[in-house]
A and B are shown apart, each in its own frame.
Chain A
């Protein structure tokens, strides 16, 4: 019998970083910025959180004196700040200096992953740990705490209430983002920029400002994905490259959800599920098969990409000016 009660929570915790990443990327893509730097941003967000937590834990000699509020706020804010800086670099290069978005994004990923692993490595060295990782279990315990009653309510509590607050935040953020995009004026303006910046500009919308805000906000949301991964999923243990390809998977999720963050809530869990499916499907002694299962999210994304492009429904296409720079006085 397939063990759903243990499978679903594990799929959810796998899915949450992807949900953060894809919500952030969707926001950015809706403004016409194809940010391939998201994997780097997520690394940066994660490591900045780790650095914040590490410094705070170091500054309090006695573990019992750690104030939960600060233990959460310090890493949270440093994570947001780090990701914001990445967003600003991307925007400055692509919006002000009109650089090619693909090239800038890829450079950002190189840079961000470099930052993550470099500072991670340095902290590991500083902490004098014997294993090549750094553990922030105290901070993590605050991030990891589930809702009250989670343990008392049996399967219900396990499936719905057992996650740290960032998981619920991820879902809330994606729903709010979906609402803003769909129903509000800000969302309308943002979508119009992604479709046709010249039209938005002529309508008096400040294209640069929207691109900046959407992309930077997107980066900050994506950065939280990195933070969630270290602090909650990995129980505060940072080891280099552990985050893996999740950033790219988040970009895949954007396509899979056809640029709808609300769809992302369930889709991210599906992706998370596909990612760990191999552990739940009896494969006997054949370890190799599990590598093939990990391929599934990418395969379904390609299938969705193909289907939407062959069906040619206008609403399901990528934003029309995705990846293109905009310059008003061009002629």
Chain B
């Protein structure tokens, strides 16, 4: 089935990392003049597969054909020479260098940055980008960095482009701009692969979809012949009910009252601008917003991890109505008052867990101060570990396994599970289902609902609007650090929330 149109053909590619098989005899074609969406749950081996085309990894078995010829790609250099350009999920840019210097990295010939700048301008005007060649990368926003990455690839004359989750950090407008560029590039005959989790993006940008599941190739479809439901089924292997349970809140009482919360980052940029809201016990307050709109700062401010500006106030309200100011308190004191934070960062382990420690020790992170001796109590955390592993069905060889060896879903279960076992009165959680497969996600939703039923005030920051609309009792929409509205979750309309995320001045929802 090789045809002259295929730019890259993968034949029976297998890649193993230790005991796990990341790719298992994958056969796939990437065609010229076409945008291929590569779909799959986290850990299904999409990135690994693409890394073998770009020379980062070397396959254990199988062949790669470029333009129909069998080729060995043993280094990124080989890939570049073959016209393959990959834009990684985590940008591969050197912070202290300028855009032009980054773009020149790895090329040959004499260095002439003026010439480079000129050529960059040409590419920019051809595709409608904006790049200042002399700007240092550390001064750039994420979308600027991504633009530099794309220009870098085009500068090298790549005609096979791979983009690994390029929209994760972009606003909808930026995404649309990127898609326009990608369509232009497709029309000029380039082969494009895009990895993404977002179904509507797949539907809007791709011509063809290829699906991986657990390292294996499941199949492919023309985008116009399929729909989100079918693609999801192919990804997960069986139909998953899309309903999320949402019990009515029982006797909600104000628990956390935030007033005029303002937070600046290190460079003095406003991250949160006079944010005010109240979170109630027994209810889930969803926080919606494009990534980087202050969600992280909001949760961290409540947990005592952010410096706030004067005039800000966060009060904790006890059951008998007494207010206690949280600002100025230690993270530890706030934690002891029953505020639990489970923030799942991009790399999953960066905050909250220690990768090289085992499950027992990670449970101990919260409780190691208990007891009056100078020594730690190891028995209690061990019991907690057993309980979490047991109740959340964490797949692990033993409690002594370093958590970095576990898969993403299990790591997140441990993190969320630990926070819940501290019996919090306020549960702050961000991106709890980030990158999780659908079954694991439901386990987490269930856990959060259980907490809600027990009267915990839950603040849930999510990426997926659909989930927020089905899970949250109320939805707080953040836009550029401001609250653009608080809507009741049960009859919120997606398009309305979407609009409020991108434009200021959406209708102010009813405050209970």
A positions within 8 Å CB-CB of B: 183-185, 188-189, 191-192, 195-196, 198-206, 314-315, 317, 320, 328-329, 331
B499 at interface (Cβ–Cβ under 8 A)?
Answer: no
Whether A185 pairs with B110 at a CB distance below 8 angstroms is yes
- Once the chains are docked, how many angstroms separate the CA of A314 from the CA of B138? 8
Whether A314 pairs with B106 at a CB distance below 8 angstroms is no
3 tightest A-B CB contacts, nearest first: A203-B106, A204-B77, A204-B106
Known: A198-B92, A202-B54, A314-B96. 16 other contacts (CB 8 A): A183-B111, A184-B110, A188-B111, A191-B97, A195-B95, A196-B93, A200-B94, A203-B76, A204-B75, A204-B80, A204-B81, A204-B106, A205-B77, A205-B106, A206-B77, A331-B17
Q: Which of A195, A200, A202 has the most CB of B within 10 A?
A: A202
Whether A185 pairs with B17 at a CB distance below 8 angstroms is no
B321 at interface (Cβ–Cβ under 8 A)?
Answer: no
- Once the chains are docked, how many angstroms separate the CA of A98 from the CA of B106? 23
With contacts A183-B111, A188-B111, A206-B77 known, is A200 near B106, CB below 8 A?
yes
Least CB distance from B97 to A in Å reads 7
With contacts A188-B104, A204-B80 known, is A315 near B96, CB below 8 A?
yes
Would you call the interface of chain B mostly helix, strand, loop, or mixed?
loop
Whether B109 pairs with A185 at a CB distance below 8 angstroms is yes
Name the contact of B105 in the complex, choosing from A183, A205, A206, A315 (C-beta under 8 A). A205
User: Which B residues lie within 8 Å of A183 (CB)?
Assistant: 111
User: Which B residues lie within 8 Å of A203 (CB)?
Assistant: 76, 80, 92, 105-106
User: Which B residues lie within 8 Å of A329 (CB)?
Assistant: 57
- Once the chains are docked, how many angstroms separate the CA of A138 from the CA of B504? 84
Whether B136 pairs with A188 at a CB distance below 8 angstroms is no
Would you call the interface of chain A mostly helix, strand, loop, or mixed?
helix
28 A-B residue pairings within 8 Å (CB atoms):
A183-B111, A185-B107, A185-B108, A185-B109, A185-B110, A188-B101, A188-B111, A191-B94, A191-B96, A192-B94, A195-B94, A195-B96, A199-B92, A199-B94, A199-B105, A200-B94, A200-B106, A201-B56, A201-B76, A203-B76, A203-B92, A204-B75, A204-B78, A205-B105, A206-B75, A206-B77, A314-B95, A320-B96
Whether A202 pairs with B96 at a CB distance below 8 angstroms is no
B288 at interface (Cβ–Cβ under 8 A)?
Answer: no
Least CB distance from A290 to B in Å reads 41
B positions within 8 Å CB-CB of A: 17, 54-57, 75-81, 86, 88, 92-97, 101, 104-111, 136, 138
User: Which A residues lie within 8 Å of B107 (CB)?
Assistant: 185
Residue on A nearest B75 in the bound complex, by CB: A204
Whether A202 pairs with B97 at a CB distance below 8 angstroms is no
User: Which A residues lie within 8 Å of B93 (CB)?
Assistant: 196, 199
Residue on B nearest A186 in the bound complex, by CB: B111
User: Which A residues lie within 8 Å of B110 (CB)?
Assistant: 184-185
Name the contact of B97 in the complex, choosing from A188, A198, A328 (C-beta under 8 A). A188
User: Which A residues lie within 8 Å of B77 (CB)?
Assistant: 204-206
User: Which B residues lie within 8 Å of A201 (CB)?
Assistant: 56, 76
Name the contact of B106 in the complex, choosing from A189, A315, A317, A331 (C-beta under 8 A). A189
